[in-house]
Amino acid sequence: MALSRRQFLAASAAAAATLRPQEGFGRGLPWIPADRFDPWIEVSPAAIRHNAEVVGRLAGGRPILAVTKNNGYGLGLLEVASVLEPLDIVHGFAVVKAESALALREAGVTKPVLLMGLFEDDVGPELVRQGVDLVLATDDGADRISRAARSSGRRPRTHLYLDTGMGRMGLPYHRAPAVLQGWGADLPGLVGAFTAFTEDPEFDREQLDRFMGFVQRTRRDGLGLGTLHAASSNGVFHFPESHLDLVRPGIALYGAYPSDAGRERRIAELRPAVSLKARVVRVERLRPGDSVSYGRSFVAQSPTWVATIPVGHADGYPRGAVGGARVLINGRLHPVIGAVSASHTIVELGSEASAQVGDVATLVGWEDEALYPNTVAEDSGASVYDVLMHLNPALPRVLVEPASLGEAPPWA
């Protein structure tokens, strides 16, 4: 018998819940075997906590609605949630897929969870039962959520999503008053309202004016919109007027600067919270004229040692890493050479065989600034969002603390 959408989501959430970090998770347990060659991802709780403190300080102490979409920005949805939920500064979580919202609840998250995307009718009752906040983002949003609430037997909690110029999701600000008037008394469980910025500095100000103009109009009409939020990581750094009642950062919590790393680093220090690692699977000496990888873009001019690492663009490592990215092995940085293939990356060791099969290689991480996500992105001609969010969700993730696997971050 075919699974219904609701059954599928429940099964997905239950499966995800089994991955929730437990006592001692990542503390030297044999979870990443010492002889594992395939890549894995290490996540630093200490760095996440530090970054949440920094964001809270930049936001003037306002609560944080932590965006954990796209598998926690690549770090792992449940891994980052397990670190963030105990923090007083964290109000709750925001996701864009119903599976993620249910996974958080099934894993034991009790703080508010906001689903910023839409959902199918047969999933709605379960979302309401689990206390997930839903968005009023379409003309039929009130009816859709009311149906879900009636089937669940619980009162829903909703946030109004206003499109002030992003043109992506939400009720267009110029039509929203009429839509709300049409909903009338049927408006279900409104506890908040929000918008999303284009991150064009001048237009963002226009967007905020549109949002606050709408808020003031609805208040004059006797409708309270609840908690107001608009600022993403970019807004936290560059647009303090948008901080409102709470801020809604994502990538900054995980140690990457959102738009201008040089400028933002001068404002506040974030600490990378993710490390992509694998073990060297081949070390070989090239003769003059020997080449590596597709297209023969690297040809040895003199005897040169190279190492192969079983990480490629299918794992989330950027194809453009050959443009200048480096990899850390045994405390030394080595340039990526040749095209990054789906499953392998090749680095130049130089005139000496300074690595051997089984040595740990770090491609993204906190051990050196050359490995920071923003640096890898810049050296690869990629977006820092791609460097994090494209990390393969199938790779194992482990929370690391001092005396744990790999190199613990210096701030841990």
Catalytic residues: 69, 294
Helices (H), 197-340: 201-220, 233-238, 261-267
| Amino acid symbol at 143 | D
Residue 99, both tokens: 């599976």
Helices (H), 223-382: 233-238, 261-267, 373-380
| Amino acid symbol at 230 | A
Residues 66 and 84 sit within 8 Å (Cβ to Cβ): yes
Q: Which of 402, 382, 404, 400 is nearest to 391 (CA)?
A: 382
Count of Cβ atoms closer than 10 Å to residue 353 Cβ: 13
Angle at 162 between CA 158 and CA 163, to 5 degrees: 145
- Which residues fall within 8 angstroms of residue 63, CB to CB, at 6 or more apart? 89, 90, 91, 245, 246, 247
Residue 240, both tokens: 């303090």
The secondary element (H helix, E strand) that includes residue 86 is none
DSSP SS3 for 209? helix
Please tell me the distance from the alpha carbon of residue 80 to that of residue 49, in angstroms, as a whole number. Answer: 10
Residue 246 pairs in a beta bridge with 229
φ and ψ at residue 321, rounded to 5 degrees: -60, -25
Q: Which of 225, 139, 239 is nearest to 197 (CA)?
A: 239
DSSP SS3 for 336? strand
Starting from the edge strand earliest in sequence, which strands make up the sheet with 64-67, in order? 64-67, 90-95, 113-115
